[in-house]
Amino acid sequence: MKVLEDRIRQDGMILSNTVLKVDSFLNHQVDTELALAIGKELASIYADQPITKVLTIEASGIQFAMATGIALGVPFVYAKKKKAVTQSDKVYTAPVHSFTRGETYQVSVDQRYLGPNDRVLIVDDFLATGAALVGLVDIVRESGAQLVGVGCVIEKSFQEGRGLLEDKGVRVHSLARIASMKPGEVHFVHEENVVNEPQKETV
């Protein structure tokens, strides 16, 4: 998605070879127009499949799951990281280790909001180690719902997440796939094998 790649180049801050900060437009302050465009794009990628629900994990996936749900005309559900007093005991759960926070959460989804009649698209902001998305895949499978696929905003393709999901037979689409990065420089997967045409000399 060109507009997203351009924005990552313009406003993303590459803190190290593995960590990209996008909190000025994606996951702290959110560019609402871009978030809605991301939702439309993810919905159009999966337009060949009937989908009844979008699933994400709090907090940074919520705006993209909502935008995708709006584009598809279906509800979205987000897995919770902490149990609330109002939450029922009938939940699907999975352990998820957070790459950015260094903690393991027991994430949960109320059993009333996911079940065998659902066809689910999972959406998240980042695909990195894949821990969060593998946890959501396990929750969908435990619920008996059918998993249509995963849609990610940014994939760090040099990390193992995509491979883990594909090994589980999951269809994965990401709107910006980063092949490599370092402070001040980012390379996307589709740019990797482009052979630069030699410049013609002009007289």
**Residue 126 lies near ligand 5GP (rule: CB under 6 A):** yes
**Residue 128 lies near ligand 5GP (rule: CB under 6 A):** yes
The least CB distance from residue 99 to ligand 5GP, in Å, is 3
* Among residues 72, 124, 149, 165, the one that binds ligand 5GP under rule CB under 6 A: 124
* Among residues 5, 25, 60, 150, the one that binds ligand 5GP under rule CB under 6 A: 60
User: What is the rounded distance in angstroms from the CA atom of residue 2 to the CA atom of residue 171?
Assistant: 22
Nearer to ligand 5GP, 21 or 112 (CB): 21
Any idea which residue has 């993303």 for tokens? Answer: 12
Q: How many CA atoms lie within 13 A of 73 on its CB side?
A: 2
The least CB distance from residue 191 to ligand 5GP, in Å, is 19
Among positions 9-38, residues that touch ligand 5GP (CB under 6 A) are 19-22, 27
| Spatial CB neighbours of 198, under 8 Å, sequence gap ≥ 6 | none
List 185's β-bridge partners, or say none.
Answer: 182
Dihedral through CA 166, CA 168, CA 169, CA 175, nearest 10? Answer: -40
User: What is the rounded distance in angstroms from the CA atom of residue 55 to the CA atom of residue 78?
Assistant: 6
| CA angle, 17 then 41 then 47, to 5° | 130
The least CB distance from residue 88 to ligand 5GP, in Å, is 25
**Residue 125 lies near ligand 5GP (rule: CB under 6 A):** yes
The least CB distance from residue 49 to ligand 5GP, in Å, is 23
- Site residues (vs ligand 5GP, CB under 6 A): 19-22, 27, 60, 98-100, 124-132, 161
